A and B are shown apart, each in its own frame.
Chain A
Amino acid sequence: MDPISKFLTDYKIPIGPWGKAFFGFLTDNFDTIFRAFSNGLNFILDGAVNLLLMVPPVLLALVIAIIAWFLQRSRPLAIGVFLGLIFIINQNLWKQTVQTLVLVVAAAAMAMAIGVPLGIWAAHKPKVYRFMLPVLDLMQTLPTFVYLIPVLTLFGLGNAPGLIVTIIFVIPTAVRLTHLGVVSVPKAIIEAGEAFGATKRQLLWKVELPSALPTIMAGLTQSIMLSLSMVVFAALIGAGGLGTEINRALGSRRIDLGLEAGLAIVVLAIVLDRMTRIGVGGKK
């Protein structure tokens, strides 16, 4: 080895050990808090799943189809949603699908609840966005498996750590699209708001958010799609649902099982995507 490389490797910066020490510190001192949080979250998620499973599958599929009709006012869409869900029931994957659905909806909702305010903040303060940007990049590009490990040590196995991992993965999208939407509000209409005496709050609620709404809604759709793609990884740390089936199929090289569960995820993705594409304001 050449001397310079040797010198460099001799003085390796102990990033790994530091990280380990940090998480060790967290588990040593706040373990009970994390576990309590995890248990609480698991309880809520499992409760929601059990509640939905008490409803007969076909009835629940019908209810979801009706919700789809209310959101989009489209009969073909409602029928498509219903048939898709019937297909899943037919494949005997209903229980897993409901588990995944609860996880995905919860993750997307949480990501939006955190991401939208952050995105608005970043849009109003360019400096904040500059600091936020590298963190968002890190959250999106750090390989998923890398943060499965600390989440696992902090929260243990189960749905709760799966949810947390998914939220971390999805928040950047919610932040970015909200930021984009608010930043692209035409200057002319912001000035119109100011010229007629809008307060900061009125400007946000009556001008900026309605104008950014289509982009923010695109963020919601994207969040749901990304959550779905994350569910397979989340299954590695014990989150139930279709991901578990796929991992099992991979472990035992069952093409049939993998195909069934994979198709169920695709159907679920299409259903959720079409349901959440909400057109805003005047039809173009």
Chain B
Amino acid sequence: MTVAVDFKNVDIVFGADQAGSLALIDQGATRAEILEKTGNVLGCAGASLTVHEGEISVLMGLSGSGKSTLLRAVNRLNVVSRGQVLVKDGDRTVDVVTCDEATLRRLRQKQVAMVFQQFGLLPWRTVEENVGFGLELAGVPEAERKARVQKQLQLVHLDQWSKKYAHELSGGMQQRVGLARAFATEAPILLMDEPFSALDPLIRTKLQDELLQLQAELKKTIIFVSHDLEEALKIGSHITIMEGGRIVQTGAPEDIVLRPANDYVRDFIANVNPLSVLTAWNVMRDRRDLEQGDNGWVWLDRRKTTRFKIDDHGLVAAAERDGKPAVWVSCADVERQPEEGAQVFWANPGTPLKTVMLAMHRSQTAPVALFDEGSRFVGAIGIRDVLSAVLRR
């Protein structure tokens, strides 16, 4: 996977005494200490993060945690005090911190587009003039500009509104204009600074879904700032949690939920419904950890109610439930299965935990088996595994 944006030990300090503040950062001083000693405000310290092409990387944290500060370093809306921000620019890589004005301008026009929390639309311009703003700055000829603007307006379902002024639209529509303006530049990298935070919950959910749909088609690299973990878990392929200007944990959504690095992260995830992120893979016991019986039989659960006989290829040869032969059926069909005692459900590693639980419910708490794409047995989930994952014990 190609790297689109690479933060390398980024320190950002707001204020006059840069050298003094950097020295304090090196000693590991907190934001409060730096403010007291130098009068400067620590934006972020020692931030290193790699964002790959096509991924949605979410920066999370409470307000003042430095997430927006770090985001805005990518197009130098915030000036980096020390470190590198490498941005992919076609075939080469540019360090935004040190590049000259002309390069920066080209990056901003063609490589990195931005969507703002307060939309940042120009109220005296119509919707189509707003969407064409970035193209106009880049000197795209009018005819081409009009065509590209029309295309974007259709994409965000605003073609009926193109002649209206921005302030005549609702908040959700205004942010669609903001999205269209960013997409119109065809920049491969998109910075989104809490784009949906100013919207009411229903519209927010709708725009999140639309963004995911557009992303499936357009495959941009998106760096997304949010203070809402549900949002982060929903759209992020990668989540970075920040506190007091420093990165405390970075990883896949389920990593954050299952293995919070410290109490701050634990507080964050306290109110998150684990069912919305966890999959069968996250909670299963590997087949090597299961209790082996005789003749290739393997117990799927600790209570020894269910067992599989596994052949040399890792395929299931026979199944038994409560001492009687059983059939094994896919979780995906759980709703359509008649309730019988002698069946064992199986799932794929990517099956949501919720579906697995439904299957357990149906089969009177029988364990669920996990098969990979080649139908090979990889592990099992017992009722205790589910409970400990949900309760985070």
Contacts and interface: CB of A to CB of B under 8 A. Distances in A.
A197 B167 contact: no
A191 to B, nearest CB: 6
Contacts of A206: 133, 136-137
A210 B122 contact: yes
B296 interface: no
B120 A189 contact: yes
Given A188-B116, A188-B118, A281-B165, A197 B137 contact: yes
Interface stretch (B32-40, B46-54, B104-112, B266-274): B104-112
Interface string A182-218: 0000001101111111110010001100110100000
B69 interface: no
A215 to B, nearest CB: 13
Main secondary structure of the interface of B (DSSP, over half): mixed
B120 A197 contact: no
Given A191-B77, A202-B137, A282-B167, A196 B109 contact: yes
Given A188-B118, A206-B136, A282-B167, A194 B108 contact: yes
A197 B116 contact: no
Residue among A194, A197, A202, A210 with most chain B CB within 10 A = A197
Given A191-B77, A206-B137, A197 B108 contact: yes
B168 interface: yes
Nearest to B133: A196
A195 B75 contact: yes
Nearest to B185: A196
A224 to B, nearest CB: 23
B134 A196 contact: yes
Contacts of B116: 188, 191-192, 195
A202 B134 CA distance: 11
B381 interface: no
A197 B105 contact: yes
A211 B120 contact: no
Nearest to A190: B120
B222 to A, nearest CB: 15
B121 A189 contact: yes
Contacts of B120: 188-189, 191-192, 195
Contacts of A210: 122, 124
A85 to B, nearest CB: 33
B340 to A, nearest CB: 61
Interface in A256-281: 280-281
A197 B114 contact: no
Nearest to A207: B122
A207 B137 CA distance: 11
Interface string B74-116: 0101000000000000000000000000001111111011101
Contacts of A207: 122
A196 B168 contact: no
B123 interface: yes
Interface in B110-158: 110, 112-114, 116, 118-126, 133-134, 136-138
Contacts of B136: 206
Nearest to A193: B137
A211 B118 CA distance: 16
Interface string A15-52: 00000000000000000000000000000000000000
Contacts of B134: 196-197
Interface of A: 188-189, 191-199, 202, 206-207, 210-211, 213, 280-282, 284
22 contacts: A188-B116, A188-B119, A189-B122, A191-B77, A194-B77, A195-B75, A195-B108, A195-B116, A196-B109, A196-B133, A196-B134, A196-B185, A197-B138, A199-B105, A206-B133, A207-B122, A211-B122, A211-B124, A213-B124, A281-B165, A282-B123, A284-B167
Closest 3 CB pairs of A and B: A281-B124, A282-B165, A192-B120
Given A196-B113, A196-B138, A280-B124, 12 more contacts: A189-B120, A191-B120, A192-B114, A192-B133, A195-B112, A195-B114, A195-B120, A195-B191, A196-B109, A196-B181, A197-B108, A284-B167
